[in-house]
Amino acid sequence: VAPASRATVVSNTTVFRLYGEPIVSSLRESGYDVDVATVQEGERYKTLESAAGLYEALTSYMAQRWDPIIALGGGVIGDLAGFAAGTYMRGVPLVHVPTTLLAQVDSSIGGKTAVNLPEGKNLVGMFYQPKLIVTDVDVLRTLSKKCVVSGLAEVLKYGFLEGRDLIGFLEANLADILALRPRQMRQVVAWCSKIKARVVSQDERDEGARAVLNFGHTIGHALEKLRGYGSYEHGEAVSIGMAAEAIIGTKVGLSDDRTATDVVRLLARAGLPLRIPASSAVEVAKLIRLDKKARDRQMRFVLLRHIGEPVVTTVAEDKVVSVLGQVNHIVDRLL
């Protein structure tokens, strides 16, 4: 393959204004001709139309098969630019430069790329691994507090899946993490991305082991759909989901009381929401049933036997409905 002579930075206008310049100039210093393609900001631009716009830009720059795409942004840009990189000329090298906490610990790792269709989220995409992920925790400083806390939900998820070492670290350093202290953030991001990389490498195409990463997401996704995407931050919905699923674990006799208590208390300390909105229990259950994860009036969940020991299992639908009805009450008791 010919050595790359040009690179295309894909970003949105907000992120590019903040962090585009140092990337472009360091690439130029290394001898690359650099082009920039920006898309509009937001999940609603994670579409085939935006991907087509990127193909147009790439052809107008005469980007070749070996010329890398640098995805600079959060999960939306990562998924979209990753999809364009995987499909343009049957695949060009991809570099992720993730700029949200969620992107740094989750979406930049594992090779999932996607765009949304009007019919639903992430319906078109492919597995396409980046050649490189370049992460700098300093960029997290310009994120809104809400976005940081939402990303923290995924960080805590890794803790609940991984065990007492990571949870102990997160508990002890929560204030520094919320203040985005670089030393603690570097540790957090390194730790979580290693966990994600390990799980993904056991199951690249999401056919088994990767399912544990869905802790909190069965209920979380249902809440996002119920409320409409955008009304909850993803991490907020996942937080409510983790609290409820930890409680389901207790109620089906799989986990001890301490597990749900620890989950609920740490999420609360991080400032994440825990309660299912009033009267949503039945609707949430209905949505889980419609989800592909549900089979024969059994619903698939990731439950925690203990902190650090997730189990993928099914729970009878009537049990789920009954626990969802009591969940806010139980949360109040555990706090």
Ligand X SMILES: NC(=O)c1ccc[n+]([C@@H]2O[C@H](COP(=O)([O-])OP(=O)(O)OC[C@H]3O[C@@H](n4cnc5c(N)ncnc54)[C@H](O)[C@@H]3O)[C@@H](O)[C@H]2O)c1
Contact status: 99 vs ligand X (CB under 6 A): yes
Point out the residue whose Cβ comes nearest to ligand X. 75
Does the protein bind ligand X through residue 104 (CB under 6 A)? no
Q: Does 102 bind ligand X (CB under 6 A)?
A: yes
277 CB neighbour count, 10 Å cutoff: 16
Which residue spans within the chain are E strands per DSSP? 6-12, 33-39, 69-73, 94-98, 112-117, 120-127, 132-133, 298-306, 309-316
| Backbone φ and ψ of 301, nearest 5° | -135, 155
Distance CA 321, CA 252 (A): 13
Tell me the per-residue interface mask from 38 to 67 with ligand X, x by CB under 6 A, - otherwise: ---x-x--x---------------------
Nearest residue (CB) to ligand X, 234 versus 293: 234
Residue 264 is inside which H or E element, if any?
helix 257-269
How many chain residues are in contact with ligand X, going by CB under 6 A? Answer: 27
CA-to-CA separations, 223 to 19, 163, 226, 312, in angstroms, rounded: 33, 27, 5, 20
Binding to ligand X (CB under 6 A) within 207-236 occurs at 234
Write the Ramachandran bin of 259: left for phi over 0, alpha for psi from -120 to 50, otherwise beta.
Answer: alpha
CB of 72 to ligand X, least distance (A): 9
Cross-strand pairs, 8: 35, 69
Stretch of 102-110, 163-171, 267-275, 318-326 contacting ligand X, by CB under 6 A: 102-110
Least Å distance, CB 280 to ligand X, is: 22
Is residue 115 a contact residue for ligand X (CB under 6 A)?
no
Contact status: 100 vs ligand X (CB under 6 A): yes
The answer to whether 76 contacts ligand X (rule: CB under 6 A) is yes
Considering the rule CB under 6 A, would residue 268 count as an interface residue with ligand X? no
Specify the residue, 66 or 128, whose C-beta has the smaller distance to ligand X: 128
Residues 321 and 181: their CA atoms lie apart, in Å, by 41
> How buried is residue 163: exposed, middle or buried, by Cβ count under 10 Å (0-12/13-18/19+)?
middle
Out of 147, 148, 267, 315, the residue judged to bind ligand X by CB under 6 A: 147
- 122 contacts ligand X (rule: CB under 6 A): yes
Question: Which residues would be at the binding site for ligand X (CB under 6 A)?
Answer: 12, 14-15, 18, 41, 43, 46, 73-77, 79, 99-100, 102-103, 106-107, 110, 112, 122, 139, 142-143, 147, 234
